[in-house]
């Protein structure tokens, strides 16, 4: 089963050459992260999160919604493969706000893209700290992206992904290079989208990156993070404000359902 590549490229506004090149990869990542936001409305509202390609196209492309890592990176993988890229799915243990030696579940999906003999790490699904450019699979080197610099470090048998925020390096996750398959992510996805203690069921998380800024929404707290500048924070007071913010700042086609207002009332 293949992706409707024309529809996907229209969705992200990509009009460059359809070739498996580094320049194309950079632009595809940037366009995707600017137009398809990270969001978890489906699990928050108690709706299923299917990962089959037709469902992802219906939601993220035709429905102008977003999604979390499994949805984002699975769709992006299909688009890259349709363009002739060699792509391998990988899994990671998220360490955001945890110690580097913490053993967390393999609950995150990322991609390895091989361009000739040069491997790159690609990830369009890590929320407010998403990679907006590819990283060479090269350890210990600070690498620029359109937003923060990132680096990869060896830790035992794993690789740490880190971003530089201000003057400090912050670890986002750890991963290895063992290939993963769609059935592997089905298990992780089922837990994250259905378990009553999953953070995707109990809180709202939305993010989008634009030139020079990152927008994030955590429950009722909306923030605009400016690269090299101050962060603006606002508290959303009602469901109408939530809907307006989702549509205006995150470019979301918000579901027209009373469940959204009920969910907002549960947020703190």
Query: Would you state the torsion angle of the CA atoms of residues 238, 47, 209, 140, taken in this order, to the nearest 10 degrees?
Result: 130
CB neighbours (10 Å) of residue 132? 22
Give me the long-range contacts of 5-11 (CB less than 8 A, separation at least 24).
5/79, 5/82, 5/83, 7/57, 7/61, 7/62, 8/57, 8/61, 8/75, 8/79, 9/79, 11/35, 11/36, 11/60, 11/61, 11/64
Active-site residue, from 32, 69, 147, 225: 69
Active-site residue, from 123, 147, 225, 249: 123
Active site residue 101: no
Active-site residue, from 6, 32, 101, 108: 108
193 neighbors 48 (Cβ within 8 angstroms): yes
Which residue is it, tokens 């977003």?
66
Cα separation, 152 vs 213, in Å, equals 23
Active site residue 123: yes
Cα separation, 109 vs 92, in Å, equals 6
Active site residue 108: yes
What are the φ/ψ torsions at residue 147 (nearest 5 degrees)? -120, -125
Annotated catalytic residues are 69, 108, 123
């Amino acid at each position: 089963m293949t992706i409707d590549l024309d529809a996907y490229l229209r969705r992200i506004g990509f009009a460059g050459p359809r070739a498996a090149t580094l320049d194309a990869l950079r632009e595809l990542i940037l366009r995707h992260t600017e137009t398809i936001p990270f969001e978890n409305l489906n699990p928050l509202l108690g709706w299923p999160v299917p990962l089959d390609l037709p469902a992802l196209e219906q939601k993220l492309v035709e429905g102008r919604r977003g999604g979390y890592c499994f949805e984002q990176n699975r769709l992006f993988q299909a688009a890259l493969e349709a363009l002739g890229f060699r792509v391998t799915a990988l899994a990671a243990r998220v360490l955001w706000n945890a110690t580097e030696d913490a053993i967390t579940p393999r609950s995150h999906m990322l991609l390895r893209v091989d361009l000739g003999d040069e491997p790159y790490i690609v990830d369009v699904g890590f929320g407010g700290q998403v990679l907006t450019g590819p990283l060479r699979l090269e350890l210990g080197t600070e690498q620029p992206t359109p937003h923060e610099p990132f680096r990869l470090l060896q830790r035992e048998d794993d690789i740490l992904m880190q971003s530089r925020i201000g003057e400090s390096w912050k670890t986002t996750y750890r991963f290895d290079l063992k290939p993963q398959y769609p059935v592997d992510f089905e298990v992780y996805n089922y837990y994250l989208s259905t378990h009553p203690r999953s953070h995707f069921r109990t809180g709202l998380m939305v993010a989008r990156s634009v030139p020079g800024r990152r927008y994030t929404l955590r429950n009722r707290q909306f923030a605009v993070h400016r690269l090299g500048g101050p962060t603006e924070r606002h508290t959303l007071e009602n469901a109408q404000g939530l809907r307006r913010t989702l549509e205006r700042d995150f470019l979301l086609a918000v579901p027209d359902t009373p469940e959204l207002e009920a969910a907002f009332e549960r947020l703190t």
